[in-house]
Amino acid sequence: MSPSAHVTPLQRVSDTDAAAWHQVVAASTAHDLPGVPAPDPGHIHAQLTQPALGSRRLTWLATAADGAPVGVAGLRLFTSTGQQHLAELELHVDPAHRRLGTGTLLLSAVVAACRAEGRRSLVATAAAASPGEAFSERHGFRRVLALDHLLLDVARADAAAADTEYPGYELACWTGTVPDDLAEAFAAAKNAMNDMPMGDMDYGSQTWTADRVRAMAEVLADRGDVLLTTAALCKGEMAGYTEIVIRAGETRRALQYDTVVVPAHRSHGLGLWVKAEMVRRLRAEQPGIVEIETDNAQDNTHMLAVNRQLGFRFHRSTHEHQLDLPTT
């Protein structure tokens, strides 16, 4: 069957475009991921219109003959040194308009943009055994990383580890941008994320500086998100930290961002310590948040064990897929 949709690149995302995008993503999510909260319109609007950190975004909208939105594609082009070979795809087609070639049309536009931008690796996330995974595999993507998504009931979490005493260490907590006196130490700790398990993904590496960690917090604030950080300090160094983000418009669920313990301070239980303290912070500062969602690579056995000790339970699995693009 020939494609019946028209694909338009969006040079500037209008309020109408963002509403159309939300309509497609909400329908796709409800069909493919039952039980997953519907996307917030404000969050999608901010994602499409606000600047991102270390990347820029291209977007496409697919419409039917009557002008109704039927599919969307977003391409994140990484711009930081160490990741300029990489692009990340988000693609959704309204379930009522699938198997008409719309997804293939959108992907063709994305791949052409990747080649024009000199990208060798295009990655995309899909729920395990989902239509998105089947689509990816049909179009030549290979599975490069398996992730387990976990949920924590904040009220039932075992936060007793927050009472543990670690001689020489102390906890520090902040909301939003890191305090100036911790910015350099925070950037150094963030660079420890480069050894996290990434399977066979051609992810590259990131370099964090004090200015970059401040910029990250500003990006989230501009979207209306709340960023909470709890860190373990030791003699002027940051030994580890954990971050939680509450997206704009979210009333129930927080998202786990980074949790890191730097190599010189591992095997002491600091990861569990900072995460347990974060649970207590959420209870005290954000009583409306009842659950935390996180994801871990399936071979990241240490962090999975930490999360299970806190009380996280398995929710679902996703897979990262990668399309290797020829470069000239």
> Is residue 2's pLDDT more than 60?
no
Report the pLDDT averaged over residues 139-164.
97
Give the distance from CA 26 to its chain's centroid.
18
State the Cα–Cα distance between residues 23 and 193, nearest whole angstrom: 35
Please state the pTM of the whole predicted model.
0.93
> Is residue 282's pLDDT more than 90?
yes
The band of 1, judged by pLDDT with boundaries at 50, 70 and 90, is very low
Return the DSSP state at 130.
S
State the Cα–Cα distance between residues 261 and 266, nearest whole angstrom: 6
pLDDT of residue 194: 85
pLDDT of residue 3: 59
CA torsion 126-132-134-136 (nearest 10°) is -80
Strand, coil or helix: 2: coil
State the Cα–Cα distance between residues 59 and 81, nearest whole angstrom: 23
pLDDT of residue 310: 98
Q: Are β-strands 69-78 and 55-63 bridged in parallel, bridged antiparallel, or unpaired?
A: antiparallel
The band of 328, judged by pLDDT with boundaries at 50, 70 and 90, is low
Which positions ≥6 away from 226 have C-beta within 8 Å?
175, 176, 220, 245, 246, 286
The band of 196, judged by pLDDT with boundaries at 50, 70 and 90, is confident
Report the pLDDT averaged over residues 227-233.
98
Report the pLDDT averaged over residues 290-312.
96
